[in-house]
């Protein structure tokens, strides 16, 4: 929990019937030694493996299986051993986890008094530094999870100076025994070897995404089959800008769960990222458990979107960001995905080809999804629900699945559209619009907002890449920033710019390229990359390819409908109709060197005939 008042006079929590009951009953699968100083799990090894084929199949629209969960429900005051010396009071519990490669420990109650410490270590690895937990890790008590434990055992050692009168509260809810693959390697967790092609969000390539990453979350779901599953998601802003703790993710993450089960058994991990580009140290994280389901837009017949609301507000000192969104159905040229593949720390994946429109459910008549292929990185199981950002840094969809992975980086993935999540599903109760636009502004794009009121806000524009037609004008709106805006153009001959209030006015004067730089009073700046074209561009490349591109006056794009190649004797050498391409290429190497006439028509009614020499 983020917040849960503690009764200081209580020593731990007592018997299980009063300290947190698992939603799912489970046969006891552990034993103790005679003095209850060692707890040993009874592991069914047949249930600890997942094949690569099973994992790949689950990436196609199913959450990633993480662990077999062994319910404990044990208060620390009934187990372990206490000792007292001249300086401190100590409590120790050993836990044996036979043949485990990795695991985590969940707590229904985790509270450490000020000045006390909990040391967590593997007794077989004496040279390893212990993980140390203090009051600051969960200051209000309540649910918590100790993550990234490796090996077949762990020791929990509580140490408190004798002058501390307040008692700790530790109630172990259960232990998640991480699945292994065919080779005996852990399927999920920190620094997974399977993520060899992934890019940490602290790396130089991710420099411009340092704000958006603060909103990305890892989710863990405990289901009635006794297994835990992983997904990704994001904090998401609303038009009231009131920091309501909404979480955007994918509906399929919660397959086979009731709304009540989702509310009670979904955990959220914030700020779970590496501090270095090359991972070394075990990452820190913030933790919360408890939410309310607001929207489930199904994967079958819908766009696979889910919106949850955390059951408590987020502390002001958490360094987080509520990401902004773009709910239009306009194609996106480039952007990034920030996610937790295989339960690892935050990674970033890039795409530099326009998203195309498609659908996950082939029975639908509406294109519910964006289709993306990547230029760097990939996704894996556990990435489901992650936000896909456009070039302006706004969320345009959430990951449903696909075939991408480090072994198949060029295979496409599909993302449920924010456009469809918003208000397109047939059941109006499952529209996100009622929560993300509570004051009915009708906004189509919204910037994000920092969690801390004192934080410098990110400078966000509604467009940062413009393909303009010569002798036209375009407006770009500032969605958020710090005021005091100025603009400058790298080439006033091509595209001069002015600003009034939060609106930038750009005139496409001449063919060419220019960069408009927008700066605010906090010295934050954003570039608008501009190319000025004719309505229809025709060019021949060094690779002997004829390239035809179509553009519209409103920057919304146009599509090529018909292309002809005619020689000087009026013979038609090439003729394609009913096209729907923004860029169309023809291999000229099959034609003899000569002069040809290229005729092009677009869907918006523009036509052009141009003579070329080949």
User: Is residue 195, in this structure, part of any structural domain at all?
Assistant: no
**Is residue 116 included in any domain, yes or no?**
yes
Per-residue model confidence (pLDDT) at position 192: 76
Residues of the chain with pLDDT under 50: 1, 3-23
Q: Both 93 and 210 in a single domain?
A: no
183 in a structural domain: no
Would residue 255 count as lying in a domain?
Answer: yes
Are 529 and 391 within 8 A, CB to CB? no
Identify the pLDDT of residue 28. 84
For residue 294, the enclosing domain spans 200-436
Same domain, 423 and 517: no
For tokens 């958006």, what's the residue?
212
In three-state secondary structure terms, 292 is strand
Instruction: Give 410-474 as a DSSP string.
Output: TS-EEEEEHHHHHHTSS-GGG-THHHHSTT----SEE--EESSTTSPPPPEES-SEEEEETTEEE
Say if residue 543 is in the same domain as residue 518: no
What's the rounded Cα separation, in Å, for the pair 547 and 583?
Answer: 7
Same domain, 286 and 384: yes
Q: Do residues 485 and 594 both lie within one domain?
A: no
Position 449 in a domain:
no
Give a yes or no: residue 268 inside a domain: yes
- Same domain for 387 and 505, yes or no, is no
Report the pLDDT value the prediction gives residue 57, as an integer from 0 to 100. 59
DSSP string of 189-216, one letter each residue: STT-GGGTT-EETTSGGGGGGTTGGGGE
For 162, the token pair is: 């004798």
Residues 297 and 301: their CA atoms lie apart, in Å, by 8
Q: Record the pTM.
A: 0.88
Q: In sequence order, what are the residues at sequence separation of 6 or more whose Cβ sits closer than 8 angstroms to the Cβ of residue 440? A: none
* C-beta separation of 91 from 76 below 8 A: yes
CATH number at residue 577: 2.60.40.3080
> Does any domain span residue 86?
yes
Residue 417 and residue 523 in one domain: no
- The distance of Cα 204 from the centroid of its chain, to the nearest Å, equals 19
For residues 548 and 518, state if they share a domain. no
Q: Which single residue is written with the structure tokens 């302006």?
A: 392
359 and 261 in a common domain: yes
Is 222 found in the same domain as 162? Answer: no
CATH of residue 464's domain is 2.60.40.1080
Q: Which of 436, 464, 480 is the last residue of a domain?
A: 436
Q: Are residues 139 and 167 in the same domain?
A: yes
Residue with tokens 């991972």: 279
What is the tally of structural domains in the chain? 4
Domain holding 401: CATH number? 2.40.10.10
User: Is 53 a member of any domain?
Assistant: yes
Both 259 and 174 in one domain: the answer is no
Last residue of a domain, one of 478, 511, 533: 533
Q: Residue 12 has what pLDDT?
A: 33
Contact 112, 118 (CB under 8 A): yes
Residue (of 45, 68, 36, 388) closest to 228 by Cα position: 68
Residues 358, 369: contact at Cβ < 8 Å? Answer: yes
Last residue of a domain, one of 436, 465, 487: 436
Which stretches within 245-371 are classed as H helix? 259-265
pLDDT of residue 119: 98
């Amino acid at each position: 929990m983020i917040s849960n008042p503690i009764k200081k006079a209580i020593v731990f929590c007592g018997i299980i019937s009063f300290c947190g009951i698992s939603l799912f009953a489970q046969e006891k699968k552990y034993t103790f030694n005679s003095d209850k100083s060692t707890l040993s799990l009874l592991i069914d090894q047949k249930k600890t493996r997942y094949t690569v084929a099973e994992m790949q199949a689950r990436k196609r629209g199913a959450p990633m299986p993480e662990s077999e969960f062994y319910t404990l429900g044990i208060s620390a005051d009934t187990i372990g051993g206490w000792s007292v010396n001249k300086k401190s009071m100590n409590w120790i519990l050993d836990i044996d986890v036979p043949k485990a490669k990795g695991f985590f420990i969940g707590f229904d109650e985790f509270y450490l008094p000020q000045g006390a410490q909990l040391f967590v270590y593997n007794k077989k690895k004496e040279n390893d530094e212990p993980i140390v937990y203090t009051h600051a890790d969960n200051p209000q008590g309540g649910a918590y999870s100790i993550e990234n434990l490796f090996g077949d055992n762990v020791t929990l050692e509580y140490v408190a100076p004798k002058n501390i009168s307040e008692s700790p509260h530790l109630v172990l809810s259960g232990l998640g025994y991480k699945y292994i693959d065919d080779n005996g390697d852990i399927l999920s967790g920190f620094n997974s070897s399977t993520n060899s092609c992934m890019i940490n969000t602290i790396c130089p390539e991710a420099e411009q995404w340092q704000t958006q990453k603060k909103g990305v979350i890892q989710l863990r779901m405990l289901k009635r089959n006794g297994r835990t599953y992983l997904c990704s998601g994001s904090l998401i802003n609303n038009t009231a800008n009131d920091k309501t703790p909404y979480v955007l993710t994918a509906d399929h993450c919660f397959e086979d769960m009731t709304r009540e089960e989702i509310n009670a058994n979904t955990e959220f991990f914030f700020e779970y990222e590496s501090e270095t580009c090359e991972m070394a140290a075990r990452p820190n994280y913030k933790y919360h458990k408890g939410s309310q389901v607001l929207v489930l837009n199904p994967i079958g017949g819908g766009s696979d979107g889910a919106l949850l609301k955390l059951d408590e507000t987020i502390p002001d000192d958490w360094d987080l960001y509520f990401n902004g969104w773009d709910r239009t159905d306009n194609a996106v040229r480039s952007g990034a995905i920030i996610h937790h593949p295989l339960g690892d720390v935050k990674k970033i994946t890039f795409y530099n080809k326009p998203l195309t429109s498609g659908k996950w459910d082939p029975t639908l008549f509406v294109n519910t999804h964006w289709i993306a292929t990547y230029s760097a990185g990939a996704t894996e199981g556990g990435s489901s629900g992650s936000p896909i950002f456009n070039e302006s840094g706004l969320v345009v969809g959430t990951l449903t699945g696909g075939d991408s992975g480090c072994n198949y980086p060029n295979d496409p993935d599909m993302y449920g559209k924010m456009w469809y999540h918003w208000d397109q599903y047939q059941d109006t109760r499952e529209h996100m619009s009622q929560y993300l636009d509570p004051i009915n502004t009708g906004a189509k794009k919204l910037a994000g907002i920092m969690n801390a009121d004192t934080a410098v806000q990110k400078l966000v524009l509604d467009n940062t890449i413009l393909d303009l037609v010569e002798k036209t004008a375009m407006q770009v709106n500032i969605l958020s920033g710090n005021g005091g805006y100025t603009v400058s153009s790298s080439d006033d001959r091509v595209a001069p710019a002015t600003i009034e209030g939060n609106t930038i006015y750009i005139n496409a004067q001449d063919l060419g390229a220019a960069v408009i730089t927008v700066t605010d009073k906090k010295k934050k700046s954003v570039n608008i990359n501009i190319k000025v074209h004719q309505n229809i561009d025709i060019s021949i490349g060094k690779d002997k390819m004829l390239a035809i591109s179509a553009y519209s006056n409103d920057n919304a794009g146009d599509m090529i409908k018909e292309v002809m190649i005619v020689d000087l004797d009026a013979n038609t050498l090439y003729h394609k109709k009913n096209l729907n391409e923004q860029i169309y290429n023809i291999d000229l190497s099959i034609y003899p060197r000569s002069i040809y006439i290229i005729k092009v028509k677009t869907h918006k009614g523009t036509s052009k005939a141009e003579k070329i020499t080949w």
